[in-house]
Amino acid sequence: MQVIHIGNPILRKIAEPIENFDAELSSFVEELTKTMYEEDGVGLAAPQVAVSKRLFVFDDGSGPRVMINPEILEKSIEQISMEEGCLSVPGIYADITRPAWVKIRYQDVEGQIHEELFEGYSGRIVQHEYDHLEGILFIDYLSPAKKALLRPKLNNIMKGKVSK
């Protein structure tokens, strides 16, 4: 699987819900997880491998997880700042402010529905990955000034010149 970079329009699409919880889905999840580890990521969303579906995998340090058709039910009022990076925006890291925790409803690979609260580091990962399903990238949250500073680097990534 090939991870696509900013500039590819698939990353800006609203991803489609998953309807079939079949063998094809489980092998896709397996492949996506493998790619995440190969690329040294802590999360990878299907749109990042050019598949515009509502699904992502992540590992917050406690093993591989998958979330299918996730929905954010509740967000904390409290916001925290943490450094983020993204396999689709290689070489760029920035402090981003987001809610400290989120409550998410999602389906597992068998289609079972779960509700779970994620805070701290895992809360951060799931919010970042969820955004990919909505066509949002973490750099969208940067101030215009900070974005202007990163513009030359971003342009290089879009031209295919990637510096890791």
Residues 123 and 128: their CA atoms lie apart, in Å, by: 9
Instruction: Extract the tokens encoding 14.
Output: 């609203």
Of 85 and 111, which CB lies nearer to Zn ion in the complex structure?
85
User: Strand 43-45 and strand 94-99: pairing?
Assistant: unpaired
Q: Does position 32 bind Zn ion by CB under 5 A? A: no
Q: Residue 23: helix, strand or coil by DSSP?
A: helix
Phi/psi of residue 59, nearest 5 degrees: -145, 110
Site for Zn ion in 56-75 (CB under 5 A): none
Q: What residue type is assigned to position 49 of the chain?
A: V
Q: Does position 94 bind Zn ion by CB under 5 A? A: no
Closest distance between Zn ion and the C-beta of residue 36, in Å?
11
Q: Which residue has the tokens 């299918």?
A: 68
Per the annotation, the verdict on 129 as an active-site residue is yes
Listed ranges 20-28, 60-68, 85-93, 118-126: which one lies at the site for Zn ion (CB under 5 A):
85-93
Could you tell me which residues come within 8 angstroms of residue 26 by beta carbon, excluding any fewer than 6 positions away?
109
Of 7 and 111, which CB lies nearer to Zn ion in the complex structure?
7
Known binding residues for Fe cation: 86, 128, 132
Single residue of 36, 42, 86, 125 touching Zn ion by CB under 5 A: 86
Q: Which of 74, 84, 129, 134 is catalytic?
A: 129
Listed ranges 31-39, 86-94, 102-110, 155-163: which one lies at the site for Zn ion (CB under 5 A):
86-94
Closest distance between Zn ion and the C-beta of residue 91, in Å?
13
User: What distance lies between CA 156 and its chain's CA centroid?
Assistant: 22
Q: In this structure, are residues 139 and 95 in contact, taking their beta carbons and an 8 Å threshold?
A: no
Known binding residues: 86, 128, 132
Kindly list the residues in this chain that would bind Zn ion in the complex (CB under 5 A): 86
Active centre residues (catalytic): 129
